[in-house]
Structure 1
Amino acid sequence: MSELLKELETNKEEYGRVKHVKAHDAYYSIPFDNLPLEKNRYTLIWLPACPRAQRVATTVQLLGLTEWIDTIELAPRRLDNWEFSQPFEGHHDLTSLFSERKDAIQPCLYDKQHKSIITNDQYNLSTLFATYWLQASGFDSYPVHKRPTIDRMSGFIFKTINVQIYRAGHEENRVIKKQEETKLAQTFQLLNQHLSDSHFLLGEQLTDADLRLFPSLIRCPIYEKQFNLLCCRLEKYPHLLRYVQELYQLPSLKQTTKLEQIVDTHFRSPHNLQKFGDDYSDETVSSIYRKLLTTK
């Protein structure tokens, strides 16, 4: 058993309950299990630069749900609010679509029949699709017999990668920043060791846990520069690097990894320029990703 799997077993309650906490905090206009799977009824609203949104968009592709769920993207640059790349249902921005609520969070699922947001449960949307709408595809990203382990792995990724990257990246105190970066580096090392004996996180089958890890890892070259996190240099972790390069070649992941928009949002969106300055405003996909995506 790898050290990572030992960590999941030791703290299984802590990591396993993340999904329930996130579901409790999310908005639902109707319980998801009451939703019929009807063609052309739903729209996934997502921002391609966002790792959590990419996971959900990839799940739609992998489960073969494109005839049931269409997608609309938010524009890559934001000042005060995320705008739609093109008008949607008479709305130009995400906040106006959430007129009854203030927390206009993406990704979110929209019901065209009732003209309302169903849920903004960004953490659980991908597993909800796989749980209730799996009949649309032969692929299963959330197999029943692996769900407890997937939930623990996903909770681990959320707490030690997804959240930790931003905790370390936004920390202004140099001493504390170094401490937070050390924690992040330790997690990368743990994952690197685990993947030395495993093709995917849970063996030879791609699961929802991989769809949570990959979007954060593919953005590591961005985080290294924008957040000044040298531990995000994936070349330091050969098995983790191999993992990213191989997953990027999967059609569904490659299709939803929109590198131009990722680079544009992080380095040229007005709200990020205000936070981080314009030191990297001239970066391109080639300058950021040339080494990472070059397979040997």
Structure 2
Amino acid sequence: MPPEATAPADDQHSTRGAYVTEGESFDRDMTYIDDRITRDGRDGWPVEGGRYRLIAARACPWANRTLIARRLLGLEDALSVGMPGPTHDKRSWTFDLDEGGVDPVLGYERLQQAYFARFADYPRGITVPAIVDVPSRAVVTNDFQQITLDLAAEWTAHHREGAPDLYPVAQREEIDALNRWMLHRVNNGVYKVGFAGSQDAYETEYRALWSALDELEERLGRSRYLMGASLTEADVRLFPTLIRFDPVYHGHFKANRQTLASMPNLWNYTKDLFTTPGFGDTVDFSQIKRHYYYVHEDINPTQVVPLGPDLGPLLEGHDRDRFETDTWGPEGSAPPPPLASEVVDPAHTPLHVTGR
């Protein structure tokens, strides 16, 4: 049975979906179920291989982080994954990609059912990523900020041989500071631009976003990855935003000062990570575009999904090997190919999704 818990309190932002409120700035509800799965089980949830199921839609950038971390760390056998389809309604993400529209492990049609199994009157939005306790079929946590940190630091007994240290102790303070800055200025910054409810709010957030991207462009002119020669949690957090930028945020969210492809360091960094095992092989462009352009009816009322842009250049060469490189860290190695059941549909990859 899950530990006794109190659902997060409700407030005026009880609907977690991203919607435009006329005349207002976008304010993301950041109150999540903050239980943690740890080695010592301090919250009542001990790390146990096979006990939990990660629910992570490929369309969602916050969930994409967890899929990348799980791949890099080699947690596929210890932590199963369920993947909802790319669209949802105001109630919940649904398992419409699975046979019969039902998650084969949990037996649920909607992720909402896992939340209600723990909190009968859960008052907030039903979000991914979420980790569900399989025996009780009840949600444990949807705290996307903490989940990947715990996968890196608490699930070490289940890491693959050669797993990178994504959250090295000596760099944690700097990684945490960079992650906080990126969350507000970039990861959520694109949403602040896209869902601004007034011209003034839009222009303020637009300038803040591009100022942050300019800072990252400069930073990535000094090292291969955000923290130096090796991959860390910071790269796991930035990549899902960058890979969605030109297909979605540039046009759909009006973040259109220029394309990412016109920024040499950010674009080559994105291409580098896209072709790095564990990153690009988690990305499904068809699901990403369908999610944003179909679900956000207040921004795109026709729900027409664009055919472009041409994503083939993601597979072209990059210049990042000019920097000192130790991608996987001391004694680390690249992850093996994804499980056959988790391979992205080839029709949803760059060479096919734009008709090349």
* % identical equivalent positions: 25
1:240-255 pair list within 5 angstroms: 240-255=266-281
**In structure 1, how many angstroms separate the alpha carbons of the residues matched to 2:180 and 2:138?**
29
Q: Which moved more, 1:97-106 or 1:42-51?
A: 97-106
**2:300 alignment partner in structure 1:** 276
Give the conservation status (yes or no) of the 8 Å contact 1:40–1:68.
yes
Note closer, same or farther for the CA distance 1:193–1:266 as it changes in structure 2 (3 Å cut).
Answer: same
Counterpart check, 1:131 vs 2:131: no
Count of residues in correspondence between the two structures: 269
**In structure 2, how many angstroms separate the alpha carbons of the residues matched to 1:293 and 1:283?**
18
**2:6 alignment partner in structure 1:** none
Counterpart check, 1:113 vs 2:135: yes
**In structure 1, how many angstroms separate the alpha carbons of the residues matched to 2:311 and 2:37?**
44
Counterpart residue identity of residue 190, structure 1: E
**1:83 alignment partner in structure 2:** 94
**In structure 1, how many angstroms separate the alpha carbons of the residues matched to 2:263 and 2:287?**
26
**In structure 2, how many angstroms separate the alpha carbons of the residues matched to 1:109 and 1:258?**
21
2:113 to 73, 93, 96: 96
Counterpart check, 1:234 vs 2:253: no
1:200-211 pair list within 5 angstroms: 200-211=225-236
**1:153 alignment partner in structure 2:** 178
Q: Secondary structure at the match of 1:199?
A: coil
Q: Secondary structure at the match of 1:124?
A: helix
Give the conservation status (yes or no) of the 8 Å contact 2:252–2:299.
no
Q: Per-residue CA shift, 1:62-90, capped at 9, x if unaligned?
A: 11110011111111122333111331223
Unpaired segments ≥5 residues, structure 2: 1-27, 318-356
**In structure 2, how many angstroms separate the alpha carbons of the residues matched to 1:65 and 1:231?**
39
Give the conservation status (yes or no) of the 8 Å contact 2:37–2:150.
no
**Residue 187 of structure 1, CA deviation:** 0.7
TM-score, normalization by structure 1 = 0.84
**Residue 274 of structure 1, CA deviation:** 4.2
1:41 to 51, 65, 70: 51
**In structure 1, how many angstroms separate the alpha carbons of the residues matched to 2:89 and 2:77?**
33
**In structure 2, how many angstroms separate the alpha carbons of the residues matched to 1:116 and 1:153?**
33
**2:207 alignment partner in structure 1:** 182
1:68 to 72, 78, 84: 78
1:295 to 309, 316, 320: 316
Q: Per-residue CA shift, 1:127-163, capped at 9, x if unaligned?
A: 0111111232332111111111111111111011012
**In structure 1, how many angstroms separate the alpha carbons of the residues matched to 2:36 and 2:199?**
45
Counterpart check, 1:26 vs 2:32: yes
Counterpart residue identity of residue 276, structure 1: N
Note closer, same or farther for the CA distance 1:175–1:26 as it changes in structure 2 (3 Å cut).
Answer: closer
**In structure 2, how many angstroms separate the alpha carbons of the residues matched to 1:214 and 1:97?**
29
Give the conservation status (yes or no) of the 8 Å contact 2:34–2:141.
yes
Counterpart residue identity of residue 290, structure 1: L
**In structure 1, how many angstroms separate the alpha carbons of the residues matched to 2:209 and 2:48?**
42
**In structure 2, how many angstroms separate the alpha carbons of the residues matched to 1:231 and 1:205?**
30
**In structure 1, how many angstroms separate the alpha carbons of the residues matched to 2:309 and 2:257?**
16
**1:8 alignment partner in structure 2:** none
2:283 to 257, 264, 267: 257
**In structure 1, how many angstroms separate the alpha carbons of the residues matched to 2:262 and 2:231?**
24
**Residue 30 of structure 1, CA deviation:** 6.3
Note closer, same or farther for the CA distance 1:158–1:266 as it changes in structure 2 (3 Å cut).
Answer: same
Unpaired segments ≥5 residues, structure 1: 1-21
Give the conservation status (yes or no) of the 8 Å contact 1:32–1:128.
yes
Give the conservation status (yes or no) of the 8 Å contact 1:37–1:68.
no
Give the conservation status (yes or no) of the 8 Å contact 2:93–2:127.
no
Counterpart residue identity of residue 124, structure 1: Q
**In structure 2, how many angstroms separate the alpha carbons of the residues matched to 1:232 and 1:44?**
35
Note closer, same or farther for the CA distance 1:165–1:292 as it changes in structure 2 (3 Å cut).
Answer: farther
Counterpart residue identity of residue 102, structure 1: P
**In structure 2, how many angstroms separate the alpha carbons of the residues matched to 1:27 and 1:197?**
38
Q: Secondary structure at the match of 2:59?
A: coil
Q: What do you get for the CA RMSD once the two structures are aligned? A: 2.1
**Residue 289 of structure 1, CA deviation:** 4.2
**Residue 282 of structure 1, CA deviation:** 4.1
Counterpart residue identity of residue 219, structure 1: R
Greater helix fraction, Structure 1 or Structure 2: 1
Q: Secondary structure at the match of 2:257?
A: helix
TM-score, normalization by structure 2 = 0.71
Q: Secondary structure at the match of 2:183?
A: helix
